[in-house]
Structure 1
Amino acid sequence: MSEAAIDYRAVFHALPGMVALLTPELVYTDANADFLRQSGRRREELIGRYLFDVFPDNPNDPTATGSRNLEASLRRVLASGERDTMALQRYDVESPERPGEWEERYWSPINAPVLDVDGRVVLMVHRVEEVTELIRARRRAAGTRSRVLEAELYTRSRELQEVNERLREAHAREREVALALQDAMLPAPNLLHHQAAVRYQPAVGALNVCGDWYDLVELPGERMAVAVGDVVGHGLAAAGVMGQLRSALSAASRVSAGPAQALEVVGLYSRSVEGAESTTAVSVHIDWTTHTLTYSSAGHLPPAVVRAGGEVVFLDGATDPPLGARPEHVARPQDRQTFASGDTLVLYTDGLIERRHEDIDVGLARLARSLAAHRRLAPEPLADTLLLDLLPAAGATDDAALVVLRL
């Protein structure tokens, strides 16, 4: 006999205490019965509306900070993908029966992310513990004592805010160190005979420094190896793994017979590096004598070649799983593509083109359009234009590495 399916919507609305669901744009998408009752709002007054249009700060109180503190907490959840517990907040609410009159309320909110399969925040659970009556009861029971209690609660709230601020400062310092480490390990290309531009664009948010890298290696003869890669994870640990794998691939490219063999060597090495699991990378060996590109990919997005006439070709003929993903060693594939003088080769990491709730083919098509439209630009201005065209105006949630090379 099969078990009856659980009606999670009914469970949500029966939850004790005030609980609402918010979109990443801070718009109400659902609220349970207790939230509607204790906030004094009807369902149609909440759903589909911006949080701070429904509950703004009291305009008659210039010291009101409830909205600002709540928005800062929600933005931290969006940026970090982690739960944020707020200190007790005074948040006056306009009376629904008497517009223009504001009721003193005390709320203790907890904001938690709901993540999709890729770890991105798609909803936020906004849980509020209404403690106004507790504060009022204690005031009535002992007037002076209740004022002391309120002062103590406020002091503790300030202390918690100071602790949170110190934590954010520590996270910011970690980000600065990670960025400095990445900057030291990702130098500008020092090429004698070729035009190239490289970019590294960190994600927004204090903890979102990732393990993206690029590398350009001049080989004997009229040849060069170009690569980009992406380590899973954030912060100093990911930056350290990135440095090890980049150095290993740079060395392997100098002595291997081609990009597939170089990635094989680094794949074997990655099994001994903690945190290197599921790292993706792609390597392209350029031969100006034969005008050929030999390439191999370890689970990475395909490099692009834009022709002088505007055609964009993606190098997607030799894709294999990420580094170290196979339980046993198997030779990696590689493929070739011819090029003409004046073509441009572009390698990049997923932060440049991927967007939430969007198929990867949409991002690749957006890249192809931008390359075709700006193909006549030299590598340096083309790199800047691609970042401007493709990255969100509010800042990317993932790092982006970019290499642009005139062939």
Structure 2
Amino acid sequence: MTEPQIDYAAVFRALPGMVALLTPDLVYADANDDFLRLAGRTREQLLGRYIFDVFPENPNDPAAAGMRETRESMLRVVDTGERDTMALLRYDIEDPERPGVWQEHYWSPVNAPVHDADGHVALVVHRVEEVTELIHARGGRDRGDRGRVLEAELYTRARELQEVNERLRRAHAREREVALALQAAMLPAPGPTGPHEAAVRYRPAVGALNVCGDWYDLVDLPDDNLAVAVGDVVGHGLAAACAMGQLRSALSAACRVADGPARALEALGLYARFVEGAEATTVVTTFIDRASRTITYSCAGHPPPALVHPDGTVTFLDGATDPPLAARPEHLPRPQARLAFVEGSTLVLYTDGLIERRGEDIDKGLDRLAESLAHHRHRAPETLADALLGDLLPASGTTDDTALIVLRL
């Protein structure tokens, strides 16, 4: 039997109900016919445009929350790769024929991911069912007592769901505030670093649930030497922030007694096996020796530090890489490598939020970092750190935290 040849583009356009496809940046990639018809927009008015430029919030309703709730739901899908079913919400739409006239609408949305071959979220499916007629009487139409009772019950339930959703949003916001405060307490500005001039930056992820477990640390060693590290705990929220604090403190102590970065990471790996949420944490540690002008480093699954030389060439410290903490079933020694530097070079350590973008090979992010470092290499660490963030982070923020250390050698 011959299998039918299915035109999936035609199937998508003919799907009953409102369905749209958006990129992870929340830009319209496609929309079916029902979506265009019921939203009152043409295909040209949607495709290639940011969703909330097409459908902004009603400026006449100070309590409106539809845009914020929809954005947070979509970003959760992009971040977690899981479907997100939203509570019933009110989201008014401006009449395309009468600018400034807003029409009241109630919606029941579901957002779901479409994964690419590498498991990343390539598209967000945004399916919406309009339930305005069930919530609010329109045009004085007589639907009988039973219809009016159903309408009243649905409207009451919608209001209850909105209140529950708002309470959850506030709880998530409080969790984010607590996690950020915890991170700020454990990630202070660097103290004296001997002859080294250093700058540190931390940028939290966007979204109420996206506080992560990134950290940085600078540890004074004898003879004006220095240990510098960054790490990234898997997960979000308070649990990740708490695990981060324990690992940061443990690594700081290990660097003071270990005879090199590999031994420090070995000790940290053993400790991580007993810390909830610490599995698969990535971290890189560097020991800087002023007398020999060398950097000794060891990396546990983390993006490589970058060394920019005075002439603008950039070397990535990728010669001693190993799996993340507690990723192996058994404990094994970790590698380390050594690299010479000249005075005036700059060492940069960072977490993946600085360079990684969904659906993009990591080498592109490393290339952008190298280009920015070469361009701004003569700047002092403080202004160089700001320039890197300005060049590499999207203006709208990212769904992952970013920790950054810039150290003039």
Q: Deviations over 1:368-390 (max 9, x none)?
A: 12222222222222222222222
SS in 1 for 2:213: strand
- The aligned residue for residue 352 of structure 2 is 350
Shift of residue 122 of structure 1? 3.3
Tell me, yes or no, if structure 1 residue 231 matches structure 2 residue 233.
yes
- The aligned residue for residue 108 of structure 1 is 107
- The aligned residue for residue 157 of structure 1 is 158
Tell me, yes or no, if structure 1 residue 166 matches structure 2 residue 167.
yes
TM-score (norm 2): 0.83
The letter for the 1-side match of 2:167 is R
**Kept in 2: contact 1:107–1:128 (CA 8 A):** no
- The aligned residue for residue 181 of structure 1 is 182
- The aligned residue for residue 278 of structure 1 is 280
Shift of residue 259 of structure 1? 0.6
Tell me, yes or no, if structure 1 residue 337 matches structure 2 residue 339.
yes
* Alpha-carbon distance between aligned partners in 1 of 2:382 and 2:304, rounded to the nearest angstrom: 21
- The aligned residue for residue 260 of structure 1 is 262
- The aligned residue for residue 376 of structure 1 is 378
- The aligned residue for residue 74 of structure 2 is 78
Tell me, yes or no, if structure 1 residue 293 matches structure 2 residue 295.
yes
**Kept in 1: contact 2:212–2:235 (CA 8 A):** yes
Shift of residue 128 of structure 1? 2.7
* Alpha-carbon distance between aligned partners in 1 of 2:405 and 2:58, rounded to the nearest angstrom: 51
**Kept in 2: contact 1:223–1:285 (CA 8 A):** yes
Change (3 A) 1:256 1:30: same
Shift of residue 158 of structure 1? 2.9
- Trace 1:55-204 onto structure 2 (pairs within 5 A): 70-81=66-77, 83-87=84-88, 89=90, 107-114=106-113, 116=115, 121-131=121-131, 140-142=142-144, 146=147, 150-193=151-194, 194-204=196-206
Shift of residue 125 of structure 1? 2.1
Shift of residue 164 of structure 1? 1.5
Shift of residue 254 of structure 1? 1.2
Tell me, yes or no, if structure 1 residue 245 matches structure 2 residue 247.
yes
**Kept in 1: contact 2:213–2:232 (CA 8 A):** yes
SS in 2 for 1:221: coil
* Alpha-carbon distance between aligned partners in 2 of 1:58 and 1:183, rounded to the nearest angstrom: 36
* Alpha-carbon distance between aligned partners in 1 of 2:264 and 2:144, rounded to the nearest angstrom: 76
The letter for the 1-side match of 2:72 is R
* Alpha-carbon distance between aligned partners in 2 of 1:382 and 1:40, rounded to the nearest angstrom: 48
Shift of residue 354 of structure 1? 1.4
SS in 2 for 1:404: strand
* Alpha-carbon distance between aligned partners in 2 of 1:202 and 1:39, rounded to the nearest angstrom: 35
TM-score (norm 1): 0.83
* Alpha-carbon distance between aligned partners in 2 of 1:151 and 1:364, rounded to the nearest angstrom: 57
**Which structure 2 residue ranges, 5 or more long, are not aligned?**
78-82
* Alpha-carbon distance between aligned partners in 2 of 1:214 and 1:305, rounded to the nearest angstrom: 17
* Alpha-carbon distance between aligned partners in 2 of 1:22 and 1:228, rounded to the nearest angstrom: 34
Shift of residue 53 of structure 1? 7.9
Shift of residue 348 of structure 1? 0.6
- Give the root-mean-square deviation of aligned CA atoms: 3.6
Q: Deviations over 1:171-230 (max 9, x none)?
A: 111111111111111122222523211111111111111111111111122322111111
Greater shift in the superposed pair: 352-361 or 108-117: 108-117
**Which structure 1 residue ranges, 5 or more long, are not aligned?**
none
The letter for the 1-side match of 2:170 is E
Q: Deviations over 1:216-260 (max 9, x none)?
A: 111122322111111111000001111111111111111112111
Shift of residue 52 of structure 1? 6.9
**Kept in 1: contact 2:217–2:228 (CA 8 A):** yes
- The aligned residue for residue 22 of structure 1 is 22
Shift of residue 73 of structure 1? 3.3
**Number of matched residues?**
399
Shift of residue 39 of structure 1? 6.4
* Alpha-carbon distance between aligned partners in 2 of 1:384 and 1:42, rounded to the nearest angstrom: 41
* Alpha-carbon distance between aligned partners in 1 of 2:292 and 2:10, rounded to the nearest angstrom: 67
The letter for the 1-side match of 2:217 is D
Change (3 A) 1:25 1:186: closer
The letter for the 2-side match of 1:156 is R
* Alpha-carbon distance between aligned partners in 2 of 1:36 and 1:242, rounded to the nearest angstrom: 46
* Alpha-carbon distance between aligned partners in 2 of 1:261 and 1:57, rounded to the nearest angstrom: 55
Shift of residue 335 of structure 1? 0.8
Change (3 A) 1:279 1:153: same
* Alpha-carbon distance between aligned partners in 1 of 2:91 and 2:345, rounded to the nearest angstrom: 62
Q: Deviations over 1:295-345 (max 9, x none)?
A: 111111111111222222111111111111122222211111111222111
Larger Rg: 1
Change (3 A) 1:254 1:161: same
Change (3 A) 1:53 1:365: closer
The letter for the 1-side match of 2:343 is S
Change (3 A) 1:52 1:210: closer
SS in 1 for 2:72: helix
**Kept in 2: contact 1:113–1:121 (CA 8 A):** no
